Amino acid sequence: MPVADYKTYCKMLDNALKNHFAYPGVNTTSMITANAALAAFAEKKSDGIIQVSSGGGEFASGLGIKNSAIGAISMADHIHRMAENYDVYIAIHTDHCPPKKLNSFLIPLIDETENRRSKGLPNLFNSHMFDGSVLPLNENMDMAVTLLERCAKSEIVLEVEAGVVGGEEDGVNTEGTPAEKLYTTSDDMVEVYRKLSAVKGARYMFAATFGNVHGVYKPGNVKLKPEILRKGQEAVVKKHGEEARFFLVFHGGSGSSKGEIKETLQYGVIKMNIDTDTQYAFSRPIFGHMVKNYDGVLKIDGEIGNKKVYDPRSYLKLAERGMTERLMQACDDLESTGRTLFR
């Protein structure tokens, strides 16, 4: 099935909100990791969201190019081609884009989709994330509104964030952020709705923060407060009605307990980003292969090694499968398994 069109993507999001489940939003950096994600969604009969960050796009473009937008476009083209071979719906999303990378990453990608639409071609991307959380809320939302207006014209969903996700990801380090900044207030959520709802007919997702942190930490080190999402949703609905309820995104979810994940689903989380856990699931089989076959991988003591075990395909197949299996677990945890809208 081709990548979901705008109407189908909206149905996916509506279905998740109505039935209290979420889609894994899995970050990818190469054809191999994208293939792993596609296989996982297909095996679990789950629709899903495949993501590319600016760092992932830069990596995908290669050391000789190092251009995040070109790499992301290449990744999206690959996903479009491969998705046609699976019986689930896939949406293509770009992850965290801070204000300083708008002109080098997000704007060129919106340009690319607009160019395609002018030629009668389908959208390259279904949605993008603008992360203005480093800015004061009013500046963040002013920029978000401008982007949302443009995205809406091309049937692109925009994800925004208010509050700071702690930890480090993709070269952005927020460690040391004051604790109060890690929690979005109910007043913030009401203001986000007020600003974004002014763009009539636009669709958006909101990454509210509730203590979530990028990376994996030992139990007890991360203090999640999912009730913040519940209280924020209640405040928005009380002021603006049930139709104001947010489609929420859970960032920094790696290492979260099933109970914490389950609770957020009841409060409107319809996407949870997966990156750290799938990175480990990809890398661990490679390490195992190298340790097991060290005498074949290395040309030591005058030996010639064993081409069968230093051929990159031998260990990258294991890595792809490892990532697929971890993402299949995420589908189960987020309760998207078996819920594809594809018929």
Catalytic residues: 95
Q: What is the Cα–Cα distance from 325 to 197, expressed in whole angstroms?
A: 39
Q: Rounded to the nearest 5 degrees, what angle is found at the Cα of 10, between the Cα atoms of 264 and 163? A: 40
Q: What are phi and psi of 145, to 5 degrees?
A: -60, -45
Nearest by Cα to 170 from 72, 284, 305, 269: 72
CA 66 to chain centre: 21
Q: Rounded to the nearest 5 degrees, what angle is found at the Cα of 265, between the Cα atoms of 51 and 152? A: 45
Q: Let me know: does 297 contact 231? Beta carbons within 8 Å.
A: no
Q: Are strands 166-169 and 204-208 parallel, antiparallel or unpaired?
A: unpaired
Contacts of 126 (CB under 8 A, 6+ apart): 3, 4, 6, 9, 49, 91, 92, 93, 156, 157
Neighbours of 19 (CB within 10 A): 12
Element (H, E) at 118: helix 107-118
**DSSP at 123:** P
Neighbours of 219 (CB within 10 A): 7
At 118, list the tokens: 């002018």
Q: Let me know: does 297 contact 309? Beta carbons within 8 Å.
A: yes
Q: Let me know: does 211 contact 224? Beta carbons within 8 Å.
A: yes
Q: Strand order in 166-169's β-sheet?
A: 172-173, 166-169, 213-214
